[in-house]
Structure 1
Amino acid sequence: MSLSPRRHATELETISVTVPPEAVEAYESALSTVCTTIGIFEVDDNQTQWRVEGVKDIGNGEEELRAALLVAGLTTGVDAELERSHTESEGWLARTYEAFPEQLAGRRFAIRGTHLEQAGRPQRITITLDAGVAFGSGEHGSTRGCLRALELVAYRQPRRILDLGCGSGILAMAAAALLHRPVLATDIDPWSVRVTRRNAAMNGLGNLVDCHLGNGWATPAIRHHAPYDLVFANILARPLCSMAADLARNLLPGGTAILAGLLNTQVRMVLAAHRRHGLVLERHLREGDWGTLILRKPHG
């Protein structure tokens, strides 16, 4: 998700919920239905609680917000209390900048906001994101795990690459920059598609990252370019399980899938769903409570 500092004719408010890590994405999606800016912040050092907050015009989209929060609660089983406070756009933006320092991921990548003035690290591939990006900025364990996994499988030189559920586009851009290959990126959220296109252009990767709006494997662009020899799917555990058959069908023999958005406690469930369709586990990477799976489709 992305934000841009702008003047508002109406009064602004910050709305927020505090939730455990497994509920972050569902509540981030709920708040994004009415908020023009979204931020995700650690509440404690152990990453057991995260605050998801957004900025919106006071009184805007209240019915949509209530419905989205209800769906998030039913989906996750977490009944989060919504908090509200009056806010100044500049103050919120400044705090978001402070929470987004340079992020180093794996051995090769550095993720930087546009608000950072000092020079980047020449020995790393630097990906620059809108200074207001908080979710998908490289700080989350799922994103970091995917970037580490990409480094491990890059030697295979995949040619057909898909980032399913691209969010801010960080994984698609990382693959394009590291492998110098075109990457198809898709997301069900129109805002994510716009942000990914903007981020890719800002990083000089607009000619390699092709982003489309779509709903999972039913997306026409995905069907048109299938099959793939590298697929990223950084979403949630249950959607990963439900799409296991589609992934296996659309993966070339010898192809690799990098799955994330799941807790380490959910790894067995996700792995079992994909083993039923012939995929095998190569690595399970851990970033705190979050797990990333590297799966392979055997030849033959």
Structure 2
Amino acid sequence: MPTIRARMTADEHEARRISDLLEVAFETEGYPVSVYEKVMDGPWTAEILFFDGSPEDAAPRIVERLGKDAFAAQIEADVLPETDWVVKSLEGLKPVTAGRFMVYGGHDADKLPANAIGIRIEAAQAFGTGHHGTTAGCLEELGRVLTRRSYSRVLDLGTGSGVLAIGIAKLAHVRVLATDIDPLATKIAAENARLNGVQGYLEVLTATGVTHRRFAECAPFDLVVANILARPLMGLAAPIAALMDRNATLVLSGLRVSDGPRVIAAYRSQGFRLVRRGVREDWLTLTLANGRAEP
């Protein structure tokens, strides 16, 4: 199924407002929403990605959720190219060190230090190659968490390329339920698991939210890692908490520093306490616990 990109161009204030509206309107589905400036001092773009439907469906879908008077910007929609944009974006990327882990491409295999846990990720259409600050920061924190105590039931929510689940499997030799809403991402995550020799540890599942029967069947989890956007994370606070064991550890990333207080408050209301916060390239990683054990 192709990925459909819908974009609206406006000034910065209006684009950010539209982006917030889209996040709220499609919170349940968890479709990725972004807002950005392509050219310095130029117009801004609010963008949402759909993993189903067609470009012709995008505008009616947005208008149905937001209302026809929610904004004046024109909606442009197209099919996101399936290979070239990702391959091009990853060309020339160097290995990334994140604590005990090193994420690398096959052409850099000879650069892997003897004491590093290598995660091989090739150019592919899934968020989370390790080169982004939020993924690298989360990997670094997982290196700490996994060496302080042992875990037996692990969930990677929003697995993307599978890089976090692969790192967990390589370091802790534990089974991981790795899920994502994007079927292309889960296909690539499964391929990356085989590439790294940990396919026996990963169960890769395409699922929206945490309602699929496999979540309940695999629960209670003693470690959950979620590298997704702030608003979906807050909306999932209660469902995630219900799936977790006592004395469990929760690692959250995909967050801007400014998102921290709201996300922490959402999980404190579910009985979690903040253990650590880390920042890498302006991206925030939070480690929380729901018991007395120190992760």
2:111 to 115, 120, 127: 120
Residues in 2 aligned to 1:80 and 1:129: alpha-carbon distance in whole angstroms: 37
Distance change (3 Å), C-alpha of 1:117 and 1:15? farther
* One-letter amino acid of the structure 1 residue matched with residue 193 of structure 2: A
Unaligned runs of 5+ in 2: 10-14, 27-35
Residues in 1 aligned to 2:100 and 2:62: alpha-carbon distance in whole angstroms: 38
Residues in 1 aligned to 2:66 and 2:95: alpha-carbon distance in whole angstroms: 31
Residues in 1 aligned to 2:93 and 2:225: alpha-carbon distance in whole angstroms: 25
8 A contact 2:222–2:244 mirrored in 1: yes
Residues in 1 aligned to 2:140 and 2:164: alpha-carbon distance in whole angstroms: 11
Residues in 1 aligned to 2:272 and 2:86: alpha-carbon distance in whole angstroms: 44
1:181 to 167, 174, 187: 174
**Where do residues 170-249 of structure 1 align in structure 2 (5 Å cutoff)?**
170-249=163-242
8 A contact 2:90–2:123 mirrored in 1: yes
Say if 2:290 is the partner of 1:291: no
2:160 to 155, 160, 167: 167
Residues in 2 aligned to 1:291 and 1:271: alpha-carbon distance in whole angstroms: 11
Q: CA deviation at 1:288?
A: 2.5
Residues in 2 aligned to 1:50 and 1:158: alpha-carbon distance in whole angstroms: 42
**Which residue pairs with 1:146 in the alignment?**
138
- TM-superposition CA deviations, 1:16-48 (whole Å, max 9, x none): 99998xx6xx89xx9xxxxxxxxxx9979xxxx
Distance change (3 Å), C-alpha of 1:177 and 1:268? same
8 A contact 2:226–2:253 mirrored in 1: yes
TM-score (norm: length of structure 2): 0.72
Q: Identify which range, 148-157 or 122-131, moves more after superposition.
A: 122-131
* One-letter amino acid of the structure 1 residue matched with residue 174 of structure 2: R
Q: CA deviation at 1:73?
A: 9.6
**Which residue pairs with 1:265 in the alignment?**
258
Q: CA deviation at 1:68?
A: 7.1
1:108 to 100, 105, 109: 100
- TM-superposition CA deviations, 1:116-153 (whole Å, max 9, x none): 25513132111112334573111222211211110121
**Which residue pairs with 1:282 in the alignment?**
275
Residues in 1 aligned to 2:64 and 2:116: alpha-carbon distance in whole angstroms: 41
Residues in 1 aligned to 2:170 and 2:179: alpha-carbon distance in whole angstroms: 18
**Which residue pairs with 2:127 in the alignment?**
135
Residues in 2 aligned to 1:80 and 1:135: alpha-carbon distance in whole angstroms: 27
Residues in 1 aligned to 2:104 and 2:206: alpha-carbon distance in whole angstroms: 26
Give aligned pairs, total: 262
SS in 2 for 1:294: strand
TM-score (norm: length of structure 1): 0.71
Residues in 1 aligned to 2:45 and 2:95: alpha-carbon distance in whole angstroms: 18
8 A contact 1:186–1:211 mirrored in 2: yes
Residues in 2 aligned to 1:72 and 1:111: alpha-carbon distance in whole angstroms: 39
Q: Could you say what the CA RMSD is over the residues aligned between the two structures, in angstroms?
A: 4.1
User: Structure 1 vs Structure 2: percent identity of aligned residues?
Assistant: 33
* One-letter amino acid of the structure 2 residue matched with residue 291 of structure 1: L
Distance change (3 Å), C-alpha of 1:80 and 1:162? farther
**Where do residues 44-55 of structure 1 align in structure 2 (5 Å cutoff)?**
none
**Which residue pairs with 2:12 in the alignment?**
none
- TM-superposition CA deviations, 1:144-199 (whole Å, max 9, x none): 12111101211211111100111111111110011111111111221111111111
* One-letter amino acid of the structure 2 residue matched with residue 251 of structure 1: M
